[in-house]
Amino acid sequence: MSSASSRSWFSFLDSSNSLLASLSKLLLISGVVVYLGIIFLPNIPSCPSSPEIMLSSSRLAMPAATGDNNPSSSGIIPSPPPADSPPPPPTLSAESAEESRTNLSHLIFGLVGSENAWHHRKAYIETWWRPNVTRGFIYLDTEPTEELLPWSPWSPPYRVSDNITRVVAETGHVDATVARLVHGIMEVFRDCDGDDGAEELRWVVMGDDDSIFMLDNMVELLAKYDHRKYYYFGGHSEFILSNFWYSFNQGFGGAGFFLSYPLAKALAHSMDSCLKRYNQLRAADSTTMACIADLGINLTPVPGIHQMDMRGDASGFLSSHPNSPLISLHHFDMVEPLFPLMDRFQSAAHLMTAASFDQTRILQQTICHHRPTNWTFSVSWGYSAHIYERIMPRSHLQNPIATFKEWAFANPRPPHWMFDVRAPVNHPCETPHVFFLESSKRTPDEEEIVSTYKRQWRRKLPACLFTGNHSADYVFRVRVYTPSAKRTQTDNRCECCDVTRVTESSIAEVKIRSCMKNEVIA
């Protein structure tokens, strides 16, 4: 080969190598670009997707609708979903959302009593039971006698508890009464599970036959919780030793405890095994608590559920109710009648009459002051009103006057109660003038509710000299005006009031209102 040919050949090789190098660089750059695109563009699937996955991806990539709901205005027109794809999830209209809120029809009641006691205790239940609206049963230990028949249409339908002898034999339980009470939870679930509308049930409410329930307040409470989860609501005893003897973790069943429907179902399913497991326990509420605890759930205490483990005059307790909606009152047979000159059943009916106007305010304490006379008014709405002849702060008046006695076997020294109390005193500046509910009505324009509280006896003390010697002995009635609108507790704050009239005409007037910003009740 000549030298010229050699030079031509090497020139060709050089140009070829240069071309290959350029192509290699181009391929390298292209590969990097493709690699980065795969990383930063995750919507590009790296493997085939099912129609469902493709549908989900298209929804995720779809832009938000514009004001005119025209998707083409965004420049992107979404493709229709495949024909075999599932329909989109339904959206709730305002009406459907309202229907989905828990109401009274979603609750089922199981009241456990005896045929013998029902003769007089039915009067308690009939004050709050709403025939053809409230759902549930009263469980008797035997068939009702002729005296109870025909069965009152104002009472819950009755059932007779299961053969407790069989239950005791199968579980080996040492106490037939305890076994019957606990087994009643399963019976309520069983008796309602096959009824029409059982699929709508959300909560199971258990209680005794000498309790009253505030149904509207109960529904409002339960509506705040997801009924599809496990919940166990109840109340402690007011008496410290009752909680100590039984448990601080149990709901005292006489005043009522509430189970979400799934929890009641699980409890019913495991009832026999639980009664066998705890066949030595001699307290129904402790057994129920233990069975529920073994399902992984503990008590959620509710301040408005009242076992009323006390004796004597409960007016001091009811006149300083905690700042929580009243849910229930138990042990009506163990305390004196709530209102003077009435028996226990009349008292229960009188209280429920006031509650029929506004359950959200029943027993709620509202405090205000009349500065010219240095008086303090404390109103327990629907129950009582107190006038003190000195300015007293809410921090003091929120503690009940201990007009009531210990439940049983109390230590000689306090504390006896799960709350702070004020000792009764006989002092002109500390002892209140006491008025009890006389009547309730709406104003003609229905904008307000007027409740009137009447003095039943005189205080028999001189005026408070320390605050100006302004005696309230001449006041015979206290008239309280309340907005017709239901009370809301969005900020957990109590309501306030103004004393609008204090004259020699024997009537004082108070107007309840929302508290102002930074208002001090003292």
DSSP 65: P
What is the rounded distance in angstroms from the CA atom of residue 318 to the CA atom of residue 401? Answer: 10
DSSP 253: G
Residues 437 and 291 in one domain: no
Residues 171 and 291 in one domain: yes
Q: How many domains does the structure of the chain reveal?
A: 2
Residues 144 and 109 in one domain: yes
Residues 196 and 242 in one domain: yes
- What are the helix (H) ranges across 307-401? 315-318, 344-355, 394-397
Matching residue, tokens 């199981």: 110
Query: 305, 339, 363 — which closes off a domain?
Result: 305
In a domain, 91, yes or no: no
Residues 341 and 296 in one domain: no
Residues 356 and 474 in one domain: yes
Nearest to 235 by CA among 207, 215, 262: 207
In a domain, 40, yes or no: no
Three-class SS of residue 329? strand
pLDDT of residue 192: 84
Nearest to 138 by CA among 146, 150, 147, 151: 151
Contacts of 100 (CB under 8 A, 6+ apart): 92
What is the rounded distance in angstroms from the CA atom of residue 280 to the CA atom of residue 156? Answer: 32
What is the rounded distance in angstroms from the CA atom of residue 108 to the CA atom of residue 231? Answer: 15
pLDDT of residue 99: 56
In a domain, 233, yes or no: yes
In a domain, 92, yes or no: no
Angle between the N-to-C axes of helices 261-269 and 284-293, in degrees from 0 to 180, rounded to the nearest 10: 100
Contacts of 37 (CB under 8 A, 6+ apart): 44
Residues 290 and 375 in one domain: no
Residues 122 and 268 in one domain: yes
Contacts of 457 (CB under 8 A, 6+ apart): 340, 434
CATH code, 274: 3.90.550.50
Query: 290, 305, 320 — which closes off a domain?
Result: 305
Question: Distance between alpha carbon 493 and the CA centroid of its chain, in Å?
Answer: 17
Angle between the N-to-C axes of helices 115-125 and 344-355, in degrees from 0 to 180, rounded to the nearest 10: 40
pLDDT of residue 98: 52
The domain in which residue 253 lies consists of: 102-305
In a domain, 479, yes or no: yes
In a domain, 31, yes or no: no
pLDDT of residue 30: 54
HEC string for 470-518: CCCCCCCEEEEEEECCCCCCCCCCCCEEEEEEECCCCEEEEEEECCCCC
What is the rounded distance in angstroms from the CA atom of residue 121 to the CA atom of residue 152? Answer: 13
Residue 251: both structure tokens together: 């709901």
Residues 245 and 354 in one domain: no
pLDDT of residue 19: 42
Query: 305, 337, 371 — which closes off a domain?
Result: 305
Question: Distance between alpha carbon 338 and the CA centroid of its chain, in Å?
Answer: 24
What is the rounded distance in angstroms from the CA atom of residue 211 to the CA atom of residue 107? Answer: 17
Q: What angle do CA 494, 498, 504 make, to 5 degrees?
A: 140
User: For the CA atoms of the chain, what is the radius of gyration?
Assistant: 35
What is the rounded distance in angstroms from the CA atom of residue 456 to the CA atom of residue 435? Answer: 7
Residues 299 and 350 in one domain: no
Residues 111 and 251 in one domain: yes
In a domain, 204, yes or no: yes
Question: Distance between alpha carbon 386 and the CA centroid of its chain, in Å?
Answer: 29
In a domain, 73, yes or no: no
Three-class SS of residue 191? helix
- What are the helix (H) ranges across 228-340? 240-245, 261-269, 271-277, 284-293, 315-318
Residues 340 and 278 in one domain: no
pLDDT of residue 193: 72
Q: What is the pLDDT along the chain (522 residues), one digit of tens a residue?
A: 444 444 443 344 344 445 444 545 554 555 544 444 444 444 433 333 333 333 333 333 333 333 333 333 333 334 344 433 344 443 334 444 455 899 999 999 999 999 999 999 999 999 999 999 999 999 999 999 999 999 999 999 999 999 999 999 999 999 999 999 999 999 999 998 766 677 899 999 999 999 999 999 999 999 999 999 999 999 999 999 999 999 999 999 999 999 999 999 999 999 999 999 999 999 999 999 999 999 999 999 999 999 999 999 999 999 999 999 999 999 999 999 999 999 999 999 999 999 999 999 999 999 999 999 999 999 999 999 999 999 999 999 999 999 999 988 767 788 999 999 999 999 999 999 999 999 999 999 999 999 999 999 999 999 999 999 999 999 999 999 999 999 987 678 999 999 999 977 899 999 999 999 999 999
